[in-house]
Chain A
């Protein structure tokens, strides 16, 4: 009797626990998917779209951060939401920082290139990828590498050693070439030509660049990344950085486009005023609105100055506004710059004038052709009529600044011109130093730590340096 009870109890208990044990631990949860799922044909398009999404997120971050060292926008002093650390506001891209920017751009490249490898593996099987999907992956791979190459001074792939940043551009050129030669979608072929023109400029292949640019003949053509306001990581971050919803972290005040004038009685800095380009010309490519009567200041306070007047850009008017990756106008400016490289400054002037002639002023102002009145920035006289390559280069650099404002291009352009592709001229950098010592402090910080590159490109981030034994850490 006793032994029977004991036997039954122990047997039952052990059996019960064993049953629980075996049944309990094999769980598959819905949601995230594993690698194997990606090989299946229905997943291909989503995988390639992932590269586009990450590229859009990278553009969000790079465009609004690089606007400070490129002086496309002026910092409102915000250090928290949509703001930056004080020295970053001054233009200093601290060594090892901005890992999030890097991660997004790298993932855009990684996803697209992973997709291309995957598509090679499934070639000839029932999961063989559609040509358009393959071509789209090539285009995203090209642009992801172009964005990396323009904004990072050094390149790093898959945990390898650091390479010159042009490694990204070389890789981008190959992806674009593949998209052109293998693709069937005409719009993607155009996007690939435009992208290849951009990277060939960087690589100094002006002939190739002009040839590709020449493939873009539709004046309304542009290739853009979809911004989605409803999905915060993919909403247009540059719009929010400047917008009154709610932070007003940046302002257009004291930029070349916004000028130093504002409607704030007695609140403007005691600096020589200069008119903003938009107020003077009404150029619709970069509207700047002065709403200081109702919303006078940016959200925070700038070190060494205080609250800055809030001027609002209106190129992007909502979080849904897309980021352009390439456009017809840019192709024309590439052609103009190529002519300047050949010494044909008049040819360049003609192209720029043609572009401007096609633009209608929004405020009845004069969207003057060259030479125009550029306003009286302190220390700057009105520009003379161009008479040579160098003086024409000033106009070209200004035109690229206007045309490509807020598209994460200016910082790269400035570096490219500094690094051997400059042809003289005046880049007309707004003198932020007149407002606060912060900007000189940022330059001093760069001089003492990280070098001049820290004012003109992003660094390989700490996370990469710490995890990648081939890259030294920043001391």
Chain B
């Protein structure tokens, strides 16, 4: 691999990163921190040893080895070895703990100046039945008690060191679908759990972090006011990506209403809960990491035009950005602006530095971290700089009282290139060549869009505290209060002299989201008999969700000086505010019979400020059964461990803040005030309610070397909120949300993990996740068919279904004959298979890969504007001449006439099956390069997004969505570049 160019200097944008560090800086940081950990040697000894898997003898890394009474602890290296320095002489209880393994304890005696050897062989916990899960339960529960499926992603098992948190979820578990949007830097991704449960409201799952509700969905797309649809970069950042992945300990995901009942009205699309790391008793444990990487584009055009003419504009990791092959001067001797003005930043480069420390005493533990990201993206203006800091504190003043306070702050700045379906954007004008808004495909003209300066400053702040008070062994009270603040300041400037808007225009849009969480849970456990226990829980929750948006727009500047909105001759301001409160209470009881049968019943009752005045409260019941059948006497041990489970539950989705109320919109007309009808209102409007039935099992066989998680789910959304058309002649012409629809989603989720090889030196894991989803609109309640979430909503069809022209005579040399109302099939994939494997080699080297297949759906994919007489590279074989769009009709079949004739532009529906190799990585322990006091070090090399197979789609990428980006309702294509192939190297050191 070639090393990147080091570039020191001012970036293209004034606010951008001013310096680019390289490899050496990361190593230097690590070495410096390592050197600072000086030992104190007086009347102390060492504890050394190795932790292995008891059954296979394989070394275990990331095991927390600690002496609770002395407040000392270390993490084992990848080879299982650990060294605990400066242990005061004495006798102690030494513990070794890691998720997925039973904790082990040994008594040791440390002698001054001596090394005490202690080895652990940890027993794996099949199915993790006694692991504690939190999400979807009232308080904490053992996994064996839970009757619904719950996905848990342990960061220790994520091999490829992702730079953003959303990527942790990618291909991780069945039923979780993460879809990329495009190759712009800072672009978020779409998250779906078990398909669409709503056609009118968001299908994004809600997200909690350490018990505090945080912003879900992506930040809004912002575009200049003159053409809302697209004058911007069309980049939508994800709030989840603002979390430092290294801060995350685990993520729990519950995917449907059978599990989300206790979250009530906002939870029908599922719940994701992120748990960040907490402090632990012991000496400070530092972890530092330096990550360096680059990216380059896969070919996304045709063989003849592999990058759709984008070559001069895209950075790669080696050659930097193109210049049209001209060098500093154009052929006519004039300066080549691409070379001289827009090549700043040289190569595509990602650098991430992070450091964290955890430790503490008996009563107070802490975890603190910081991260810095600096990315130069693939498109010429794309840059990102991000800082994230976190402090988590656990205070236990008494045995029955604990305070936990977690706070994270992220500040992200990004600059993007005008892109997407944007007439003043780069990709659109390049793709359209001489039919673009410059009248030429010459890159020296199209670069006139690059002064379009699009910047976003995103701030995320989450703070929350939980008090747990357990006055009795069987009584626990937990109260959480949290505040989550998100702000995006989008600045979108076409400066004075900008070719397509010479007088200039500036949009400054500040969007804020505030979420306030109050949550109380009380749990009382009591024993009826030795074999019959009950855990009764009660509680309440209130979440306030407020959005404020303030926008300033100015146009016509006095000159080329750096403007503000105030500089403009014409200024317009807009403001929107809305606040919604949801509050509810619940009761739940878990009946535990012999620690094998668990019957859970519960109910949540919700009110919501967006409900209609006449609606009242919504009641969501739940019930589930868990049976650890393998604990039965009749179950032979050789049959492995199996838990059967089934659950039914309901949860909902509220209408929008104004949907229930009859309103008039104060809209103005020039310089006078004006009201126009807005919403006819519906006082009986309530939430749509999704009820889900789930049944499945968790099984483990062959000493935990074969694991299967199987779930069948069937969810029905009743009272679905549909936009029902009003009678326009009555004056209120907008459709009104009404609870009239019924939708269904059902499918299977299978997670299979097999360990064919497990020895001390070698190990091989193979995982397959299979998800199916069959959706159907059961009833429209009298409403007409309509379009939503990327397709049509039609009774008896998938949610949504794609409808469009179908060429009935595709191969005939004739004009196309159409079926204009053909139902092509579902918009979203109906089957997803993700594959992952990891291979452990001697010396603790781990090779890992994961990929994902999706299919069963159709996609309309053509980002070339045929109707505007753009000459499409895909149509090249059928054009009559070297220029123009006239077809050689004698040799052009009907399907290609449909596709390539400007007035037709039909026939771009494809079977959407594709496979992406998401990640290939190698983790190499490099402990040999560091002194003993470094408890672990590893180098990870990761290649992401390196291979794409498409069954039917001839070009592009099925994951390049429309201008709404990560807020898109469906799939599709617009004028973007697809996500690049990326390569990253990460060095992590723990000491």
A419 close to chain B: CB less than 8 A: no
How far is A29 from B581 in the complex, measured between Cα atoms in Å?
A: 11
Q: Is B807's CB within 8 Å of the partner chain A?
A: no
* A35 in contact with B662 given A53-B669, A86-B903 (CB within 8 Å): yes
Interface residues as binary, A288-321 with B (CB distance below 8 Å gives 1, 0 otherwise)? 0000000100011111101100000000000000
Residues in B with CB closer than 8 Å to A467 are 725-728
Known contacts A31-B666, A32-B665, A230-B572; is A53 also within 8 Å of B580 by CB?
A: no
Q: Which of A37, A102, A300 has the most CB of B within 10 A?
A: A300
Asked whether any CB of chain B lies closer than 8 Å to the CB of A380, the reply is no
* A102: B residues at CB distance < 8 A: 728
The smallest C-beta distance from A322 to any residue of chain B, in angstroms, reads 10
Establish whether residues A466 and B540, one from each chain, have CB atoms under 8 Å apart when the complex forms. Answer: no
A132 within 8 A of B: no
Q: Complex formed: what's the CA distance from A157 to B728 in Å?
A: 9
A78 at the interface (CB under 8 A from B): yes
Is A186 at the interface (CB under 8 A from chain B)? no
Chain A residue contacts of B570, Cβ below 8 A: 230
Instruction: Kindly state the separation between the CA atoms of A191 and B570 in the bound complex, as whole angstroms.
Output: 32
- Taking CB atoms, residues of chain A closer than 8 Å to B437 are 246
Given A46-B673, A103-B733, A301-B868, A31–B578 Cβ distance below 8 Å?
yes
CB-CB < 8 A to A24: which residues of B? Answer: 542, 544, 581-583, 607, 609
B579 touching A27 by the CB < 8 A rule? Answer: yes
Q: A47–B662 Cα gap in the complex (Å)?
A: 15
Asked if B43 is at the interface of the complex by the 8 Å CB criterion, the answer is no
Distance, CA A2 to CA B473, complexed state (A): 10
Check if A304 sits within 8 Å of B577, measured CB to CB: no
Say yes or no for A340: interface residue by CB 8 A criterion: no
Judge whether B607 and A17 touch: CB under 8 Å.
Answer: no
For chain A, which range describes its interface: under 10, 10 to 19, 20 to 34, or 35 or more residues? 35 or more
CB of A107 closer than 8 Å to a CB of B: yes
CA distance A29 to B658 in the complex (A): 8
A25: interface (CB < 8 Å): yes
Q: Is the CB of A21 within 8 A of B584?
A: yes
| Mask: chain A, 16-33; 1 = CB below 8 Å from B; 0 = not | 111011011111011111
- What residues of chain B lie closer than 8 Å to A331, measured between beta carbons? none
Near B by CB (< 8 A), chain A positions 37-77 give 37-38, 43, 45-47, 49-50, 52-54, 56, 77
Contacts of B663 in A (CB 8 A): 32-34
Query: A45-B673, A300-B868, A300-B869 given as contacts; is B226 within 8 A of A232 (CB)?
Result: yes
Interface residues of A, dominant DSSP:
helix
- Chain B residues 723-749 with CB under 8 Å of chain A are 725-731, 733
Does A111 count as interface, using CB distance less than 8 angstroms? Answer: yes
CA distance A160 to B475 in the complex (A): 65
Q: How far is the CB of B813 from chain A (nearest CB, A)?
A: 19
A99 within 8 A of B: yes
Q: How far is the CA of A25 from the CA of B541 in the complex (A)?
A: 12
Interface size on B, residues (CB 8 A): 78
Complex Cα spacing A112 to B651, Å: 44
| B678 close to A32 (CB less than 8 A) | yes
State in angstroms the CA–CA spacing of A300 and B866 once bound together: 9
A14 within 8 A of B: yes
Measured CA separation A358–B664 after assembly (Å): 46
In the complex, the answer to whether B728 meets A106 with C-beta atoms within 8 Å is yes
B902 touches A77 (CB 8 A): yes
Residues of A within 8 A of B877 (CB): none
Minimum CB–CB distance from B283 to chain A (whole Å) comes to 37
Check A9 for interface membership: any CB of B closer than 8 A. Answer: yes
Given that A464-B729, A468-B727 are contacting pairs, would A25 and B676 also be in contact in the complex, using a CB cutoff of 8 Å? no
Looking at the assembled complex, report how far the CB atom of A175 sits from the nearest CB atom of chain B, in whole angstroms.
Answer: 16
Task: In the complex, identify which listed stretch (B14-22, B366-374, B516-524, B934-942) lies at the interface while the others stay far away.
Answer: B516-524
- Closest B residue to A303 by beta carbon equals B903
Interface centre among A2, A226, A230 (most CB of B within 10 A): A230
Q: Is B679 in the interface zone, CB < 8 Å from A?
A: yes
Q: Are A114 and B728 in contact (CB under 8 A)?
A: no
Q: How far is the CA of A228 from the CA of B582 in the complex (A)?
A: 40
CB distance from B410 to the nearest CB of A (A): 28
In the complex, what residues of A have CB within 8 A of residue B477's CB?
9, 12-13
Q: Are A16 and B902 in contact (CB under 8 A)?
A: no
Give Cα A85–Cα B673 distance, bound, in whole angstroms: 35
Say how far A251's CB is from chain B's closest CB, in angstroms. 14
Measured between beta carbons, the chain A residues less than 8 angstroms from B657 are 27, 29
Q: Can you identify 6 A-B contacts, CB atoms within 8 angstroms?
A: A16-B479, A21-B540, A25-B608, A103-B728, A106-B729, A160-B729
Interchain residue pairs A-B with the least CB separation, the first 7:
A17-B540, A110-B731, A303-B903, A32-B663, A24-B583, A46-B673, A301-B902
Interface of B toward A, CB cutoff 8 Å: 226, 228, 423, 437, 439, 471-472, 475, 477, 479, 500, 518, 520, 522, 524, 538-542, 544, 570, 572, 576-585, 607-609, 611, 657-658, 661-670, 672-679, 725-731, 733, 784, 865, 867-869, 884-886, 901-905
